[in-house]
Amino acid sequence: MSLFSSKFSKILPFFIALFFVGVSAFGQEHDSHVNADSTVENHAESFNASEVILHHVMDDHIWHFFDGHYGTLYLPVIVHSSERGLEVFSSRNFYDEHHNVVAYNGYTLEHNHIYLNGDSVLDLSITKNVAMLLINAVILVLVFMAVAKGYKKNSGKAPKGIQSFFEPIIIFVRDEVVKPNIGHHYEKYFPYLLTLFFFILFGNLLGLLPGAGNLTGNIAVTMVLAFLTFIITNVSGNKAYWGHIFWTPGVPLPLRLVILPVEIIGIFTKPISLTIRLFVAITAGHIVLLALICLTFIFGSIWVGAGSSIIVLFISLIELLVAGIQAYVFTLFTSLYIGMAIADHDHH
């Protein structure tokens, strides 16, 4: 724990610096919508906080980092329609020189949905969240390739470098989360659960960086993770697991008729709860942070900005804790569900 604390104290100033960079970038991005000669009152009236917050929280076909010509990354649009088949082009075509949304070759972009001559198309584009997903996956692979390399190199020795940072976390997930809930068959599921934990953890932490996408705050992402848990749990379920659902032992027949639909509903409420919990926790944290930052632009006061910045700094530190807690909770419940599905039950 002391090793982890010392490493955390070293990277804490880095996150604090990123926070102030993020606030500065946020201001540069949205201050461009206000004329330099406008008054403070006009500034407050023209600033739409809800629109700004939703823009940052939701997915998009462009990735905006800061104001200026080079501050926007135009992502590739990949669409398929029965009329034209598969087409690929840059999302830059949907914006004019003043960054207003325009039509392109029959395609229109409305509320982040693409239409062809008024009809919806199959959108397979690399959006901001998809790009974040790929970045998260690449970082995950690179980090743990380095950890595995360090483990082989330092076999029988004390861990060094990046291995020394991640090994206590891996052991914690194995000994405190996976093994107690699954039991002696945990080795079969441990690779998936470890990947799940670090995928969520890295996604949560990357989402706190300035200009980053809201990956784990996207309900489609959390739904897929929960669906994987649903599949693994029910495919791994043994005879005792399904017997408790469809014919609960030791229960009178009239009561079984009541318990049966409850148990069946419970099969589906488990992944739903996993989906909603992660999605709400991460999205709510981003909304709170953005709402506090918006106070500066709403009131146009340096004192409000200083006060909200201090509050945002402390909430950002709490969000670092929440990032780890949500990864832990998702992995914990997944382990628990799998453990319940494969557990052996003795009835007398």
- On whether residue 46 sits in a domain, the answer given is no
**Same-domain pairing of 93 and 215:** no
Length of the chain: 348
Q: pLDDT (tens digit, 9 = 90+) per residue, 91-123?
A: 999 988 878 889 998 899 988 889 998 888 999
3-state secondary structure of 156: coil
**Same-domain pairing of 275 and 201:** yes
321: CB partners within 8 A, 6+ apart? none
Closest CA to 136 of 69, 222, 55, 200: 200
- On whether residue 115 sits in a domain, the answer given is yes
**Same-domain pairing of 96 and 200:** no
User: Which helix H or strand E contains 151, and what residues bound it?
Assistant: helix 128-153
Phi–psi pair at 131, nearest 5 degrees: -65, -40
What is the domain count for the chain? Answer: 2
**Same-domain pairing of 110 and 190:** no
What is the residue-averaged pLDDT of the chain? 83
Q: What is the pLDDT of residue 306?
A: 87
- On whether residue 238 sits in a domain, the answer given is yes
- On whether residue 53 sits in a domain, the answer given is no
**Same-domain pairing of 104 and 193:** no
Q: What is the pLDDT of residue 304?
A: 84
Of 125, 160, 182, the one marking the end of a domain is: 125
Of 125, 143, 159, the one marking the end of a domain is: 125
Q: What is the pLDDT of residue 324?
A: 95
Output the CA angle 59-61-62, nearest 5 degrees.
Answer: 100
Is residue 136 within 8 Å of 203, Cβ to Cβ? Answer: yes
Closest CA to 74 of 13, 131, 23: 131
Domain of residue 205 covers 128-342
- On whether residue 248 sits in a domain, the answer given is yes
- On whether residue 331 sits in a domain, the answer given is yes
- On whether residue 13 sits in a domain, the answer given is no
Q: What is the pLDDT of residue 13?
A: 53
**Same-domain pairing of 121 and 190:** no
Structure tokens of 54?
């939703």
Closest CA to 130 of 63, 209, 85, 56: 63
Closest CA to 330 of 207, 177, 189: 177
- What is the distance between the alpha carbons of residues 308 and 291, in angstroms, rounded to a whole number? 9
**Same-domain pairing of 318 and 172:** yes
Q: What is the pLDDT of residue 319?
A: 92
Question: How many C-beta neighbours within 10 Å does residue 109 have?
Answer: 20
- What is the distance between the alpha carbons of residues 230 and 165, in angstroms, rounded to a whole number? 31
- Long-range contacts, 218-224 (Cβ 8 Å, 24+): 218/59, 218/129, 218/279, 219/275, 219/279, 220/129, 221/129, 221/133, 222/274, 222/275, 222/276, 222/278, 222/279, 223/275
- On whether residue 154 sits in a domain, the answer given is yes
User: Which helix H or strand E contains 85, and what residues bound it?
Assistant: strand 85-90
**Same-domain pairing of 121 and 236:** no
Closest CA to 288 of 56, 32, 105: 56
The single residue listed with the structure tokens 């995928």 is 199
**Same-domain pairing of 224 and 304:** yes
**Same-domain pairing of 305 and 188:** yes
* Per-residue confidence in pLDDT tens, the chain, 348 aa: 444 445 445 554 544 554 444 544 444 444 444 343 334 444 445 678 788 788 788 888 888 877 666 778 899 999 999 888 999 999 999 988 878 889 998 899 988 889 998 888 999 999 999 999 999 999 999 999 999 998 888 777 777 888 889 999 999 999 999 999 998 889 999 999 999 999 999 999 999 888 888 899 999 999 999 999 999 999 999 888 898 888 877 778 888 888 889 889 999 999 999 999 999 999 999 999 888 888 888 888 888 888 888 998 899 899 999 999 999 999 999 999 999 999 876 544
**Same-domain pairing of 119 and 132:** no
- What is the distance between the alpha carbons of residues 288 and 294, in angstroms, rounded to a whole number? 10
User: Which helix H or strand E contains 79, and what residues bound it?
Assistant: strand 76-81
3-state secondary structure of 86: strand
- Long-range contacts, 279-282 (Cβ 8 Å, 24+): 279/216, 279/217, 279/218, 279/219, 279/222, 281/322, 281/326, 282/204, 282/207, 282/214, 282/216, 282/217, 282/322, 282/326
Instruction: Enter the DSSP assignment of 74.
Output: E
**Same-domain pairing of 86 and 111:** yes
